[in-house]
Amino acid sequence: MQPENKNKQRIVTSYRYEDEIGRLLYEVVRLEPKGFYQRAPNIPGADPDKAGWKYNLDGVRKVLYKLPQLIQLPTCERIYIVEGEKDAERLWAEGLPATTNPGGAGNWLDDFNEYFNSKEVIILPDNDQQGIKHAEKVASAVSPFAACVKIVNLPGLSEKQDVSDWLDNGHSFGELSILADDAPQFKPSLVTRTSSLGLPSTSHESRATSDEIYAKVIHLDTVKCQDIQWLWPNRIPLGMITLIVGDPGTGKSFLTLYMAARITSALPWPDGTDPPYGSCLIISAEDSLEHVVCPRLVGLNADLKKIISIQEINRKDKDGSEFSEMFNITTDQAALQRVLCENPDTKLVIIDPISAYFGNTDTHKDSNVRSVLAPLAKLAADFNVAVVCVLHLNKSNSSKAVYRTMGSLAFPAAARTVWLVNPEPGQQIINRRLLIPAKHNILKDPTTLAFWIDDGYVKFDGQPVNITADDVLSFKKQREAPQKQQAADWLADLLADGKPRKSAEIFDLAGEIGISIRTLRKASKEIGVKCYQDFEDDGNRFWYWKLQNDKEEGHSLFDNMLEFSKLPKLPKLEAASI
Cβ distance 59 to 6 under 8 Å? no
Name which of 73, 70, 77, 71 is nearest 340 in CA terms: 77
Whether 110 and 48 map to the same domain: the answer is no
Residue 561: in which H helix or E strand, if any? Answer: helix 561-565
Whether 269 and 400 map to the same domain: the answer is yes
Cβ distance 140 to 204 under 8 Å? yes
pLDDT in the model for residue 276? 95
Cβ distance 48 to 35 under 8 Å? no
Is residue 203 one of the residues assigned to a domain?
Answer: yes
What's the total number of domains in the chain? 4
- Interatomic CA distance for residues 197 and 195, integer angstroms: 5
Whether 343 and 265 map to the same domain: the answer is yes
Is residue 99 one of the residues assigned to a domain?
Answer: yes
pLDDT in the model for residue 478? 52
pLDDT in the model for residue 572? 42
457 alpha-carbon distance from chain centroid? 30
Give just the sign of the alpha carbon dihedral 54, 57, 60, 61. Answer: positive
Whether 221 and 234 map to the same domain: the answer is no
Of 169, 203, 225, which residue sits at a domain end?
A: 225
pLDDT in the model for residue 400? 64
Is residue 67 one of the residues assigned to a domain?
Answer: no
Domain containing 414 — which CATH number? 3.40.50.300
Neighbours of 457 (CB within 10 A): 14
**C-alpha dist (Å) from residue 461 to 248, 284, 431:** 22, 28, 13
- The DSSP letter of residue 556 is B
Q: In 3-state terms, what secondary structure has residue 422?
A: strand
Whether 166 and 138 map to the same domain: the answer is yes
Whether 235 and 221 map to the same domain: the answer is no
- Interatomic CA distance for residues 418 and 354, integer angstroms: 14
Of 171, 199, 225, which residue sits at a domain end?
A: 225
Name which of 476, 494, 489 is nearest 544 in CA terms: 494
Cβ distance 243 to 419 under 8 Å? yes
Whether 219 and 234 map to the same domain: the answer is no
Is residue 571 one of the residues assigned to a domain?
Answer: no
Name which of 36, 29, 31 is nearest 8 in CA terms: 31
Residue type at position 272: G
pTM greater than 0.75:
no
Domain containing 138 — which CATH number? 3.40.1360.10
Whether 83 and 205 map to the same domain: the answer is yes
- Interatomic CA distance for residues 456 and 471, integer angstroms: 29
Cβ distance 142 to 133 under 8 Å? no
- Ranges of residues in the chain with a pLDDT under 70 are 1-7, 45, 189-216, 318, 395-404, 426-430, 474-482, 549-578
Q: Is 368 exposed, middle or buried (0-12, 13-18, 19+ CB in 10 A)?
A: middle
Phi, psi of 572 (to 5 degrees): -75, 135
**C-alpha dist (Å) from residue 60 to 2, 64, 108, 114:** 18, 13, 16, 19
Whether 188 and 257 map to the same domain: the answer is no
pLDDT tens by residue, 226-247 = 899 999 999 999 999 999 998 8
Cis peptide before 33, with omega less than 30 degrees from 0?
yes
Is residue 68 one of the residues assigned to a domain?
Answer: no
Cβ distance 391 to 411 under 8 Å? yes
Whether 302 and 446 map to the same domain: the answer is yes
235 Cβ contact list (under 8 Å, min separation 6): 269, 417, 419, 443, 446
Is residue 357 one of the residues assigned to a domain?
Answer: yes
Is residue 66 one of the residues assigned to a domain?
Answer: no
Q: In 3-state terms, what secondary structure has residue 483?
A: helix
Beta sheet of 541-547, edge-to-edge order: 501-502, 541-547, 529-535
pLDDT in the model for residue 474? 67
Domain of 520 in residue numbering reads as 477-565
Of 412, 433, 467, which residue sits at a domain end?
A: 467
Is residue 382 one of the residues assigned to a domain?
Answer: yes
pLDDT in the model for residue 192? 36
Name which of 95, 94, 93, 96 is nearest 124 in CA terms: 96
pLDDT tens by residue, 62-121 = 999 999 999 888 777 899 999 999 999 999 988 899 999 998 888 999 889 989 988 899
Neighbours of 151 (CB within 10 A): 19
Cα within 13 Å of Cα(35), Cβ side: 13
Neighbours of 253 (CB within 10 A): 27
Whether 191 and 137 map to the same domain: the answer is yes
Point out which residues pair with 423 in neighbouring strands. Answer: 433
Concatenated DSSP letters of 39-92: EEESSTTS-HHHH-EESS-TTPPP--TTHHHHTTSPTT-EEEE-SSHHHHHHHH
pLDDT in the model for residue 221? 84
Cβ distance 416 to 438 under 8 Å? no
- Interatomic CA distance for residues 419 and 447, integer angstroms: 11
Whether 253 and 201 map to the same domain: the answer is no
